[in-house]
Amino acid sequence: MIQARMEAEGIVEKPDVVGAVFGQTEGLLGEELDLRDLQKGGRIGRIEVDVQSKKGRSEGLIYIPSSLDQVETSILAAALETIDRVGPCKATIKVEKVEEESKTSGTDLLDEVRQSVQVSEIVSFGPERLPSGPNVSDSDAIIIVEGRQDVLNLLRSGIKNAIAVEGTNVPKTVQELSKERALTAFVDGDRGGDLILKELLQVAEVDFIARAPRGKEVEELTQKQIMKALRNKIPADQYVEMYGLSGQVYKPETEFPEAKNAGPAPAPGRFDRGGEPRPESRPEPRDVREAPPAPLTPTTKALNPKLEKYRDMLLQLGGSSTARLLDEGDGVVTEVPVRELVDTLKTKKQTRAIVFDGIITQRILDIAAEMNMHSVVGTKMGTITKQPAGVVVWTRSDLAP
């Protein structure tokens, strides 16, 4: 049993608290500790919330029955403390106790978590035999770190989908993984981290960036610091714009759809800073290859008015990690941070389309189908196992010129 205390700067109710617990921990701990799957499988019970409001503030207790082992229960409890918003209100959640039948103290549990990971849990991945967690081979999202000790430290915190680049020369395996998986670069807060990040941005398709606190390395972070850093990750596009790195960023093949019929493929890795010239049979001005792709504007690609509107919205939201909910007539219902999208949809039943600066996941498509939406528009597709009928999906590359 996990018992946690919640305090919110406003009036919230039980559904808001339960929604925050599910919504803000989704994807944080990987597939093995996904709350929805754990509840479906009976490994955690019904979440109970006792909340009271007074003088414009709310506080209460959260109870989560658990049949998980001590290590998994402690990791789940730590994830709760990363929640910083309940409904529309800022909030904090502090775990008060983690009870087990053995009556093991919270301190003992944390010690067991730290000691539970053995070196033997690290596996070797790819031809380069890169140190990685055991879930890298089948996870739809991976975390890129610098070295073996970083992978170990993330394993101690229950994160099993990390892989190390082992230096600033990014291995081919990591470059290929970035084309298929949602990739988060989690680097040290020092100059070494800056160098690795620049290399990653040049040769791989990075989706999100997380940094250790300034002056600290990933291998020395506590579990809480790791969770906080990953929760505060920002889209790579936004990071690139903030630090003026647009001329050094890798561009995936989908950014140049005309190249599919352009003859022999150019050298691997297309960059804004230049690349191999196209074959003589397909002449093209050189400045197209050395400049960023043309902006998404209605004049650069023939689309119907509805798709032109979606394309313009996606451009406006670029780098903001924001979702825009639309009604039947494509009027804006509301705008929210992407991490609050799932919770907000529960209260915005009139939503018929979503345009957002983020990765389209199976969870979002399932919700769209349940709400009878007609369109979902995002920056790229995650791993989708089932495409709901009646929901049309568009990505940035679909709408690109």
Model pLDDT, residue 166? 84
380 SS3 class: strand
Q: Give the tokens for residue 80.
A: 């709760």
174-229: pLDDT as tens digits = 999 988 889 999 999 888 888 888 888 888 889 899 999 988 999 999 988 999 89
3-state secondary structure 284-335: CCHHHHHCCCCCCCCCCCCCCHHHHHHHHHHHHHCCCCEEEEECCCCCEEEE
Cα(28)–Cα(30) distance, integer angstroms: 6
Tokens of 149: 């000790």
CA of residue 287 relative to chain centroid, distance: 34
Q: What is the mean pLDDT of residues 264-293?
A: 35
pLDDT (tens digit per residue) in 319-339:
888 999 999 989 999 999 988
From 75-79, 96-100, 395-399, the region with the lowest mean pLDDT: 96-100
pLDDT band at 354 (very low <50, low <70, confident <90, very high): very high
Q: Where in the chain is the domain with CATH 3.40.1360.10?
A: 119-247
Predicted local confidence at residue 266, as pLDDT: 35
pLDDT of residue 62: 92
Q: What is the pLDDT of residues 12-51, one digit of tens each?
A: 888 888 888 888 887 777 777 788 888 877 788 888 899 8
Provide mean pLDDT across the span 61-77. Answer: 85
Distance CA 15, CA 23 (A): 12
Please, what's the b/e burial string for 254-277 (b: 16 or more CB within 10 A of its CB; e: otherwise)? bbbeebeeeeeebeeebbbeebee
Specify the CATH number for 2-115; select among 3.30.70.2690, 3.40.50.9100, 3.30.565.10, 3.40.640.10. 3.30.70.2690
Distance CA 15, CA 4 (A): 16
277 pLDDT higher than 80? no
pLDDT in tens, 132-163: 999 998 888 999 999 999 999 998 888 999 99
- The tokens for 196 are 């690795």
Instruction: Check if the beta carbon of residue 208 is closer than 8 Å to that of residue 236.
Output: yes
Helix (H, G, I), strand (E, B) or coil at 208: strand
Query: How far is Cα 166 from Cα 151, in angstroms, rounded to an integer?
Result: 11
Q: Please determine, for residue 353, whether its predicted confidence score (pLDDT) is greater than 90.
A: yes
* Average pLDDT taken over every residue of the chain: 78
Question: At the fourth CATH level, which superfamily is domain 305-399?
Answer: AICAR transformylase, duplication domain (3.40.140.20)
Question: Distance from CA of residue 27 to its chain's centroid?
Answer: 7
pLDDT at 255: 39
Residues 12, 91 contacting (CB under 8 angstroms): yes
DSSP bridge pairs for 53: 58
Q: Are 158 and 72 in contact (CB under 8 A)?
A: yes
CA-closest candidate to residue 276, choices 258, 285, 289: 289
CA gap 189, 186 in Å, rounded: 9
Label residue 399 by pLDDT band (50, 70, 90): confident
CATH 3.40.140.20 residue ranges in the chain? 305-399
C-alpha span between 285 and 288 (Å, rounded): 6
Predicted confidence at residue 162, as pLDDT, reads: 93
The predicted-structure confidence for 79-129, as pLDDT tens digits, reads as follows 888 888 888 888 899 998 887 644 444 445 555 555 554 455 788 998 999
Which CATH number is correct for 119-247, 3.50.50.60, 3.40.1360.10, 3.40.605.10, 2.60.120.20?
3.40.1360.10
- Residue 290 in this model has a pLDDT that exceeds 50: no
The partner residues of 86 in beta bridges, in order of sequence, read 89
Specify the range with the lowest mean pLDDT, choosing from 105-119, 235-249, 266-280. Answer: 266-280
Q: Of the given ranges (114-118, 305-309, 349-353, 387-391), which has the lowest mean pLDDT?
A: 114-118
Residues in a beta bridge with 209: 185, 234
Contact present, 189 and 116 (Cβ < 8 Å): no
Give SS3 for 262.
coil
